[in-house]
Amino acid sequence: MKRQVLLVMLFSALGSIVFGQKAVVQSPDQKIVVSLFNKQNNDNGEWVLKASYNNNGKITEAIPRIDIGLLRSDQDFSKELRFVKAGKPTLINEAYTALHGKRAVCKNEANEVVVAFENQTKAKLNLIIRAYNDGITFRYEFPDKQGSFVVKEELTAYTIPSATTRWMEKWNTANEGLYTAMDKNKILPGEWGYPALFNTDNKDCWFLLHEADVNRNYCGTKLSNAADGEIYKLTFPNPKDGRGLGESNPSITLPWKSPWRVIIMGTLADVVASTLVNDVSTPSVIKDTSWIKPGIASWNYWSSNHGTKDYKTVCEFADLAAAMNWPYTLLDWEWDAMGNGGNLEDAVKYITSKGIKPLIWYNSGGPHTYVTATPRDRMLTHENRVEEFTKLKKLGFAGVKVDFFESEKQEMIKYYLDILEDAAAFQMMVYFHGCIVPRGWERTYPNLMTHEAVRGAEWYNNTPDFTMPAPEHNATLPFTRNVVGPMDYTPVTFTNSQYPHVTSYAHELALSVLFESGIQHMADRPEGYYELPDVPKTFLKNVPNAWDDTKLLDGYPGKEVIMARRKGNDWYIGGINAEQREKTKTIKFDFLPEGVRYKLTLIADGKHDKDFATQYMVVDRSASVDVKLLRRGGFAASLVPMY
């Protein structure tokens, strides 16, 4: 530990005499370096960061320039910043437990340096820089003790060389677009949502841009390269978002810290396994978390858009959850108009009589959304929420799904967090839909089980245009959207909704492992599960949805992915092929512990898309197995130790 800190101090001392370099922060494993430079090569002026990655001795300048600075309503903190000092390096070393996600025991371990600046009026700005083994984070701080201002512009901007390959989603308020793969021959300008994935020209380094710990003191941001194709600048929400309500520019009161700017970095496996977004976020504010229970839910909307309006349909999905050993069922929109044999109270009695806990949908309401679906406005104010949560708790509901936020302005960030706080007071879990991409709130409020913020299986209801892109999209999400937090894609469908899918049955089964969500909503109609062969049906009865460990075994965005996840001593593997050709992939089990033999149940593509082929065998860490995947196919597997 002392050696790591000494190394950072050495780099900092050397940096001050090299090309205007004023500070260097190195990750504990020495693979990642972030350096601070002055553009005018002196102690005053404009400042930039540079991010580098060491891959087995080969240094890659991953991001050659990150512009920094803020424009506040009263003055400028960008052009004439005077370097005051770089503080002594500090080792951040913290462990914490996550109730759901890709890993149960997480580490927040980094080297941190705080750099102090002053502008021309002697007003103070600090830049807090951390280097992690899996990335870089930095944030701004106004340390003065008083004052209220508006942030007019954040000047953070990432210069990405044109030869860098990238996967990005066009910005939309619901974060439900497809990812566009771009290389040096195709770099589109525009506004882009988080997270954004990049691979350097030499293929040695992958990195993912995001932000974390967004709180009531700021707004969400996005990336824009509209002015220059190689420069992705952080921009505030569009004034028109949320029907034009709320201010786009955040208001702040000193002392103040910005959200973390996050660059997850390393190999592709490092990116997929990273918990960095949660690591830097505020620790849990909920003391008693015993009531927060991850699990799988049945969901009737995908197969019947008006399913919750029908009492008998609601009961069928409660029966499905009971038969499949899933703890939850979700009552979606129109529950307030339920008929055909019963109302909401009748439905809750039936659901709970089966040993299942109900979840329930709400329109976020208010003038920020055009959607008139009821019930509206019951989540909108603290008084509304207290009244509603009191009723729900008495009836026996375990959580709420809140929909249609349509903005990431500061006012809406406050709304999200107010819902989470009030829900926690009533021991209610929360699922956000039509919403923001995760920003690390799952650590602060572990009752936040999942977000939609993805083009998921619901889009088979919306348009025929999802059918053919879906396999490539499915093989992109584990490297992008699902890296940064839970993702409710509403997966694992074998029958069809309004529009068909072309993925194989084994591809769909694999999504139960590949896609992580604190509450995983299985979207198919009951017969879609009841009519499965016994082995895949048993797999879906037993597959967890909160994990102790996650490892990428193989893959490339948009082409294929094979991922292993552990729960207790058992491992589960999911793999999909997104391409229009058959493949044979070799699964190596070298991630297993030494000296333990496992019973492998492998459920792969059969002779055609709707057919399964099941194998059983005994393996250990020295074993490997070849698996044939159909075009747009897949496989799922379980590994249970033999003691």
Q: How far apart are the first and last CA of the chain?
A: 38
Asked which of 496, 521, 536 is the last residue of a domain, the reply is 536
Residue 617, SS3? strand
CATH of the domain at 614: 2.60.40.1180
pLDDT in tens, 337-360: 999 999 999 999 999 999 999 999
Residues 178 and 206 in one domain: yes
Number of H helices, E strands in the chain: 13, 38
User: Is residue 512 a contact partner of residue 636, using CB atoms and an 8 Å limit?
Assistant: yes
Residues 444 and 587 in one domain: no
Name the average pLDDT for the chain: 96
Is 335 domain-assigned? yes
Instruction: Using pLDDT thresholds of 50, 70 and 90, give the confidence band for residue 201.
Output: very high
Rounded Cα distance between 628 and 83, Å, is 59
Residues 316 and 396 in one domain: yes
Residues 236 and 325 in one domain: no
Residues 233 and 380 in one domain: no
Tell me how many domains the chain contains.
Answer: 3
Range of the domain at 585: 562-642
CATH of the domain at 383: 3.20.20.70
pLDDT in tens, 145-173: 999 999 999 999 999 999 999 999 999 99
DSSP string, 219-266: ---EEE-SS-TTEEEEEPPPTTGGGG-S-SSPEEESSEEPPEEEEEEE
Does position 25 have pLDDT exceeding 50, yes or no? yes
Is 214 domain-assigned? yes
For range 133-150, the mean pLDDT: 97
Is 132 domain-assigned? yes
pLDDT in tens, 3-12: 444 344 434 3
Residues 572 and 448 in one domain: no
Rounded Cα distance between 511 and 533, Å, is 17
Residues 314 and 354 in one domain: yes
State the pLDDT at residue 21: 87
